[in-house]
Amino acid sequence: MPDAIIDENVFFLKIMADHAKFIGHLLDPSERKLVEQAREFSQEFDTLMFQAIDLSSMRPQSQTHPLLSQFVDENRVSVKSLRDFKKTARDLIEQCRIKSIIHPLLADHVFREAERFLFILDMFDRSLSGMKVNKKEILF
Ligand SMILES: [Fe+2]
């Protein structure tokens, strides 16, 4: 399971970082505040992705690493705020209240992908807290 947690985080954090980048690029430059927020998310998720790759390179030590649970917690906080940003962008695009060339369906898709990642992180969080109680009972 710790392997799956690390791999899944590398995979999804890269996608989240890519989303932040293309949202920033496809917004009209006059939407300065949103462009700036997208740029910050891009940097934040690049950092998180590199941290996930660091954890990945520490295997097998990382499997029992207490950092893993903290890492999942930190990711949840960041993904929640990116998810909220994507939701705001999606709603604004749908209501034609911002200038961008992002298709409304794409805006909705990237929002839902953040929701999916959050769902997976919650599952990992539950699994890691379960492991602290009794490793043998986890059947992943
Ligand atoms: Fe996608």
Taking the centre of ligand 1 as the mean of its atom positions, its distance from the CA of residue 114, in whole angstroms, is 10
Give the integer Cα–Cα distance in Å for 43 and 14.
11
Give me the helices (H) in 1-140, please. 2-26, 32-57, 67-94, 104-133
pTM of the predicted structure, to 2 decimals: 0.89
CATH class of this structure's domain 2-139: mainly alpha
pLDDT for the residue numbered 1 = 75
Taking the centre of ligand 1 as the mean of its atom positions, its distance from the CA of residue 15, in whole angstroms, is 8
Cα 34 to chain centroid distance, Å, stands at 18
pLDDT for the residue numbered 59 = 81
pLDDT for the residue numbered 6 = 93
pLDDT for the residue numbered 132 = 57
Tens of pLDDT, residues 23-64: 999 999 999 999 999 999 999 999 999 999 999 998 877 566
- Alpha carbon dihedral 117, 97, 44, 66, in 10-degree steps, equals -30
Taking the centre of ligand 1 as the mean of its atom positions, its distance from the CA of residue 110, in whole angstroms, is 6
Instruction: With a cut of 50, list the residues of the chain below it in pLDDT.
Output: 134-140
Domain ranges of the chain: 2-139
Taking the centre of ligand 1 as the mean of its atom positions, its distance from the CA of residue 128, in whole angstroms, is 27
Give the integer Cα–Cα distance in Å for 83 and 56.
25
Taking the centre of ligand 1 as the mean of its atom positions, its distance from the CA of residue 12, in whole angstroms, is 10
Give the integer Cα–Cα distance in Å for 32 and 20.
14
